[in-house]
Amino acid sequence: MSQPNQLPPSRENPSPPKGPSGKPVLAWFTQRRLIGLSLAITSLVLWPFTEWSWWPLAGALAFGFLVRILRLDQLLPGWSGIATLAVAAVWLVNITTGWSWAILLGLLVLALGVPRLPRFELLIIGVVLVVVGAVGAIWWRIGDEQVRAEQRAQDSAFLRVSGLPPTPVRALRALLAYIGKNDPGNGHPEAPGGACGLLSPVARAEFASANNAPDCTSAVRLLAGKVTDPLRYPKVIENQVKTKETGISASLDACQLSWEPPMNSAPAGDPGPQLGRLELQKQMNAGWLIMSYKTSC
């Protein structure tokens, strides 16, 4: 008896591909597992954007522990782990950027679309959401890094000027004190400290040239060798220093300084060399920086 002819498989409802065991290849990808995988991927993608903060992960673990203690996992068997991943993913989304929601929703749409293969509508929507969210998150990250870099630069600049003297005359006295102690600073171009830290880069070059020195540090050491009384050298009589202050700018005549009388058996006369004319400017409403140095008096 002849076998009836077998009909070819329908093209409209093709049978899913099967593995060696006879089960569909996508059998492992249940809806629950796909949702959990989407939440885990979202957490891993967003975690670096938080500077590797452990708080979202710790919060998710605490939530999972609380669910087990209160036996809430019995209400939705098999979903307690998914709920824990959801807490981590939503926490990370909330502390990063709004673009992260597109990544999370796109991965969840992909989780819904995989079981519906070979229909690709949901997969296409999910991929578009993930790509848009990823591009937006990267763009946000670049902008955020630029803002942070500017903020760090401002903080660093304010830190440098916060130690500057509060008045032009105090800047002069600080300069004299550093010269008397033979303290030019550490030589760093951005924050040299010492005497050179009171001068702008232009003023340092002028200060060195005026003293026939190769740099500011050498000029300070050269002048320090001419100081006879380091303790008295910065004690100028402030009300006799000719100063002209206009807003955030000031000019100061240090060509004819007068010092306080010597104490005990200290040598009479000037305790050190006269300087020159100083042009100063107030920095970030914090302190005064010597912007220019001239020896002509």
pLDDT tens-digit readout, 244-274:
988 899 999 988 889 988 876 666 788 999 9
Q: Dihedral of CA 46/49/52/56: which sign?
A: negative
Give 141: exposed, middle or buried? Use CB within 10 Å, 0-12, 13-18, 19+.
middle
Query: Which pLDDT does position 19 carry in this prediction?
Result: 46
The three-class DSSP label of residue 259 is: strand
Which has more pLDDT, 72 or 1? 72
Tell me: the pLDDT tens digits for 25-80?
455 667 788 888 888 888 888 888 887 888 988 988 898 888 888 887 777 777 88
Distance CA 261, CA 99 (A): 71
- The pLDDT-based confidence of 118 (bands split at 50, 70, 90) is confident
pLDDT at 16 over 60: no
Query: Which pLDDT does position 188 carry in this prediction?
Result: 54
Tell me: the pLDDT tens digits for 194-235?
899 899 999 999 999 999 999 999 999 999 999 999 999 999
Distance CA 195, CA 175 (A): 5
Query: Which pLDDT does position 265 carry in this prediction?
Result: 65
Rounded alpha-carbon distances, angstroms, from residue 151 to 141, 156, 160: 15, 8, 14
pTM, two decimals, is 0.52
DSSP-H helix ranges across the chain: 31-46, 55-69, 80-95, 99-113, 121-161, 168-180, 201-210, 216-224
Query: Which pLDDT does position 191 carry in this prediction?
Result: 52
Structure tokens at 232: 């008295």
Categorise residue 185: left if φ over 0, alpha if ψ from -120 to 50, beta otherwise: left
- Tokens 């087990």, located at residue: 68
The percent of residues above 90 in pLDDT, for the chain, comes to 26
Query: Which pLDDT does position 187 carry in this prediction?
Result: 56
Q: Give me the chain's average pLDDT, please.
A: 82
**Beta-bridge partner residues of 278:** 252, 293
Rounded alpha-carbon distances, angstroms, from residue 275 to 196, 231, 235, 257: 14, 17, 14, 8
Question: Can you list the positions of beta strands (E) in the chain?
Answer: 242-246, 249-253, 277-283, 287-294
- Average pLDDT of 102-112? 87
pLDDT at 192 over 80: no
Query: Which pLDDT does position 5 carry in this prediction?
Result: 54
